[in-house]
Chain A
Amino acid sequence: MADSSEREAFEMSRREFLRWTGLAGVAIAAAGSVPFVLAEAPEPASASPARRRRWTMLIDLRRCDGCKRCEVACRKEHNVPEGQNWLKVFTLTAASGTFFLPRPCMHCENPPCVKVCPVKATFRTEDGLVLIDEDRCIGCRYCMAACPYDVRVFNWSKPNPPEPLEVHPPDPTFGHRDHRQGVVEKCMFCAHRLKEGRLPACVEGCPMLAIYFGDANEDFVSNGYERLRLSTVLSSQQTFRYKEELGTEPRVYYLPVRR
């Protein structure tokens, strides 16, 4: 297939991505429902209030060779405790051979985990991020039982490094240098990077440029080098979402190995 014609691909520098997503923090702030973000937001006055993100990931499985550098980048970015994987590369065998399926959090639009949380410790932002307030979580682990993707992980023991290295306001969109015992954690689509207009760590960490990230409302995704029009990809390619039949409406699309 001549996929260059099917995809509207053009080069895009990081600076350009920054400009695209620079409004994200402002948009989150405009949402206003998440006070801690509001407190950190720069000049909300200049924002157009209607601007909402719809964060979306697109993973090209044909490019993924299972090197797991995305796992490494994620681990480094979030200081992920030993034995946990926020992003996990599954190895699957099909009739056509072995292939790899990187599995971040799906940030479902209809998240089963958010539904069952008794204390609203996990929630979905208006920009479509499913986040966890670690200062709220009571550690009942119901969300772990409810997640069909095995995304969520629990801090069973004293985390390493120990509890807060630095004092910061309780902010689920904060990057994770520290971890707390007895709470659930997971991939957060690098919400702290999105605020700064940067791509998630796994996207930057992928040497095969297999992971694209962007905003469905702006109709683009980028792997840091090339920018795709998301609607074109979705309409012209056989994309799929993991366990789509469950009705969870994941925000992660996959381009299959064979198309």
Chain B
Amino acid sequence: MAKIVVTRVEKTVMLPLVRPGRWYWAIVGVLAAIVVWAAYAYTVQLQEGLVVTAMRDRISWGLYVSTFVFFIGISHAGTLVSAILRVTNAEWRKPITRLAEAITVFALIIGASMVIIDLGRPDRLQFIVQFGRIESPILWDFISISFYLTGSLLYLYLPLIPDLATLRDKMPARARFRRWLYTRLAARWQGLPEQRRRLERSLGAMAILIIPVAVSVHTVVSWIFGMTLRVGWHSTILGPYFVVGAIFSGIATLIIVMAAVRKLFHLEGIIKPIHFRNLGLMLLALDIVLLYFTLSEYLTASYPGETQDVAWLTLLGSGQFAPMFWWMVIGGFIVPAVFVAVTKAKSVPAVVIAAILVNIGMWIERYLIVVPTMATPQTPSVIAPYWPSWVEWSILAGAVAAFGLLLLAFCRFFPVISMWEVAEKAPTPLSEPSPIPEPPTAEVVD
């Protein structure tokens, strides 16, 4: 048999597919346990009805809808990093595009599930297709999210093809299922010039197409709120505010996932401080834009002093939502900005901590868009106070865990680094071609 040649990058990237290591299984175990717990909570909800949540007639949307907005938001990681950086030809993007694209797909799946979990009659879900009314912003959402999910899957798959061909050729013969899988998925990729040309062309087209779709997705998510007659929602700024927030939390999520994957699979040689630095600086830029939008939104609402606006802003600034609101502004926007700015984004831990703070802040931001508006009286009705129940918190934990689990499952079957794109830049073949890999027996050491 011909000897199989693997480059150093390939060896590093393919190792997790063969032997992901002890930590991998430990994390999978923990996440799976959380998902099972959340599934139990959901069965309770299915049996008892939405009464097991803390939502009631006046505050009728809560944690689920907030989490839906949050996850649809982080799905913008893929578009930004991958599509925008591809369009602008930023070379440094190459080792992190795959992760960004995977985040997009899985965040969309989790986000869409949150809406289904929120339904009173999930058994009638198919009515959206069967009886859909295009006049409803929910239909706009359904259509644009479907579009975005399809596009993102394609956009994840296309750049995978050359890597799948590599895997097809270089997987050990005994991994029969893997070889079958990769052979099917690699679509007879041989790396021929014509194939390369077509791939590049379709990638270029997809990158340009996916950007407006992504922008439209978060715009229409905001329009679900913006199209109502309610204070805090009925605002023209909501669309762009949501899109910027989405890209912001998308980058933060990418930074966190990058750090985790880098540590877990020992990719320090490929995902380098420069990636954290560049993304950290982008995070800082969007942080400032978001602060600007926030100021713009709240100042415009507060200054004229309309009764409803004031009632809403009082709830946020000094009322029941004040701790969350100020945590969002200070802990979610200002502190991360300071962190990144002071360290000039040169420290990986500083960027990662900033990203974690940003994501907590952005989840709160979504919550504060949904709940305080509903908590602002619009009639003399009695409004039952809302704080999510154990079922809702469990499902939130389950959503985050499921997101991690999907990513980890992806890492088990597909290379998390775009090997061919990284190789394009700096091919580093081993001096001695070596057959692949009995994976090293050394334990994973942090």
Residues on A facing B (Cβ under 8 Å): 84, 88, 90-92, 101, 103, 112, 115-121, 136-142, 144-146, 148-150, 152-158, 181-184, 246, 248
Contact with A along B81-125 (1 / 0, CB 8 A): 000000000000000000000000000000000010011111011
Asked if residues B121 and A120 are in contact (CB atoms below 8 Å), the reply is no
Asked if residues B50 and A156 are in contact (CB atoms below 8 Å), the reply is yes
Contacts of B378 in A (CB 8 A): 148-150
Contacts of B381 in A (CB 8 A): 88, 90, 150
Asked if residues A157 and B132 are in contact (CB atoms below 8 Å), the reply is no
Residues on B facing A (Cβ under 8 Å): 48-51, 53, 55-58, 60-61, 115, 118-122, 124-125, 127-128, 130-133, 135-139, 142, 224, 227-230, 374, 378-381
Asked if residues A120 and B131 are in contact (CB atoms below 8 Å), the reply is yes
Contact of B135 among A115, A153, A157, A248 (CB under 8 A): A115
Give the interface SS of chain A, mostly helix, strand, loop or mixed: loop
CB of A59, distance to nearest CB on chain B (Å):
15
Asked if residues A90 and B379 are in contact (CB atoms below 8 Å), the reply is yes
Contact of B121 among A90, A92, A137, A150 (CB under 8 A): A137
Contacts of A142 in B (CB 8 A): 136-138, 224
Ordered by A's residue number, 8 sampled pairs between the chains whose C-beta atoms are within 8 Å are: A103-B379, A118-B133, A120-B131, A141-B61, A141-B120, A156-B49, A156-B51, A182-B121
Q: A150-B57, A154-B57 are in contact. List 12 more A-B contacts (CB 8 A).
A: A116-B135, A119-B133, A137-B120, A138-B119, A138-B125, A138-B127, A139-B119, A144-B60, A146-B230, A149-B379, A150-B378, A183-B120
Q: How far is the CA of A142 from the CA of B48 in the complex (A)?
A: 21
Contacts of A149 in B (CB 8 A): 378-379
A138-B120 contact, Cβ under 8 Å, with A145-B61, A156-B50: yes
CB of A162, distance to nearest CB on chain B (Å):
12
Select the residue from A118, A146, A152 with max chain B CB neighbours within 10 A.
A118
Q: How far is the CA of A248 from the CA of B230 in the complex (A)?
A: 13
Q: How far is the CA of A152 from the CA of B57 in the complex (A)?
A: 8
Contacts of B136 in A (CB 8 A): 115-118, 142
Contacts of B61 in A (CB 8 A): 141, 145
Contacts of B51 in A (CB 8 A): 156-157
Q: How far is the CA of A101 from the CA of B136 in the complex (A)?
A: 31
